[in-house]
């Protein structure tokens, strides 16, 4: 009887220790390497913009998805998965490193190309997501494009007589992108793939 009571007490103590550690965000989470020495750090990334072009395309076309992700946390380095979803399925992914650089270097732009060979015709809802454990505000880690991507077989007309092309943008209302000068967009910098 005493042996059963001791075993029950030991199991209950272990369960409480494990549950308590998880309840405070303990060992079941991957934590970034922080500058404060405890492996922590304030992590907060925000998906600011998702742009899809063309929004009307044919099967076999490459769809370009551009995402703007801002790191507003500490300068503690961490990795995050940056994903593009079409109707809930991941169609493009990359691993991005955040936490380096000072003020002004906190915005990253990611460009994805989705090859639509083998896809079914129809409407596709596009959503961009940047996921990291222990994010301070996980509610702003994804952004869905409100207009669906229309994908049709070659030769089939688009509804309403629309032409191929177009673009759709979802933007965080708190994000105010800096205006670029027309000359800056037209002429790439030397060494940046232009000259």
In the structure, what pLDDT confidence band is assigned to residue 15 with cuts at 50, 70 and 90? Answer: low
Tell me the C-alpha distance between 182 and 186, whole Å: 6
Give me the mean pLDDT over the 128-147 stretch.
Answer: 91
In this structure, is residue 179 part of a structural domain?
A: no
Tell me the C-alpha distance between 135 and 139, whole Å: 9
CATH code, 111: 2.60.40.10
Does residue 49 sit in the same domain as residue 89? yes
pLDDT of residue 17: 58
In this structure, is residue 154 part of a structural domain?
A: yes
In this structure, is residue 195 part of a structural domain?
A: no
Does residue 51 sit in the same domain as residue 139? yes
In the structure, what pLDDT confidence band is assigned to residue 161 with cuts at 50, 70 and 90? Answer: confident
pLDDT of residue 160: 80
In this structure, is residue 194 part of a structural domain?
A: no
In the structure, what pLDDT confidence band is assigned to residue 188 with cuts at 50, 70 and 90? Answer: very low
> What is the average pLDDT value for the chain, to the nearest integer?
78
Does residue 20 sit in the same domain as residue 79? no
Q: What is the DSSP string of 37-74?
A: SSS-----EEEEEEEEE-SEEETTPEEEEEEEEEE-S-
In this structure, is residue 108 part of a structural domain?
A: yes
Does residue 108 sit in the same domain as residue 147? yes
Lowest mean pLDDT among 11-15, 22-26, 78-82: 22-26
In this structure, is residue 191 part of a structural domain?
A: no
Does residue 3 sit in the same domain as residue 88? no
The distance in angstroms from the start CA to the end CA of the chain is 84
Does residue 78 sit in the same domain as residue 143? yes
Does residue 81 sit in the same domain as residue 108? yes
Res 31 pLDDT > 90: no
In the structure, what pLDDT confidence band is assigned to residue 181 with cuts at 50, 70 and 90? Answer: low
Does residue 5 sit in the same domain as residue 58? no
DSSP β-bridge partners for residue 32 = none
Q: Are 48 and 172 in contact (CB under 8 A)?
A: yes
Q: Are 126 and 144 in contact (CB under 8 A)?
A: yes
Does residue 109 sit in the same domain as residue 13? no
Domain of 18? Answer: 1-30
Does residue 101 sit in the same domain as residue 15? no
In this structure, is residue 35 part of a structural domain?
A: no
Does residue 17 sit in the same domain as residue 49? no
Res 130 pLDDT > 70: yes
What domain count does the chain have?
Answer: 2
Does residue 65 sit in the same domain as residue 137? yes
Lowest mean pLDDT among 32-41, 166-175, 177-186: 32-41
pLDDT of residue 101: 61
In this structure, is residue 133 part of a structural domain?
A: yes
Tell me the C-alpha distance between 194 and 191, whole Å: 7
């Amino acid at each position: 009887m005493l042996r059963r009571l001791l075993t029950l007490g030991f199991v209950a103590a272990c369960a409480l220790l494990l549950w308590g550690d998880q309840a405070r965000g303990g060992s079941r989470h991957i934590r970034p390497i922080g500058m404060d020495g405890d492996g922590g750090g304030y992590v907060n990334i925000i998906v600011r913009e998702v742009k899809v072009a063309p929004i009307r395309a044919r099967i076999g076309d490459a769809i370009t998805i551009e995402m703007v992700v801002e790191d507003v946390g500490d300068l503690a380095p961490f990795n995050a998965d940056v994903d593009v979803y079409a109707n809930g399925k991941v169609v493009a992914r990359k691993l991005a490193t955040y936490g380096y650089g000072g003020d002004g270097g906190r915005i990253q732009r990611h460009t994805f190309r989705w090859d639509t060979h083998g896809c079914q015709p129809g409407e596709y809802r596009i959503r961009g997501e940047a996921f990291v454990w222990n994010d301070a505000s996980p509610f702003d880690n994804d952004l869905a494009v409100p207009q669906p991507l229309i994908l049709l077989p070659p030769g089939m007309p688009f509804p309403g007589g629309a032409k191929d092309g177009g673009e759709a943008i979802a933007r965080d209302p708190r994000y105010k992108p800096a205006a670029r000068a027309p000359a800056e967009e037209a002429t790439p910098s030397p060494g940046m793939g232009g000259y």
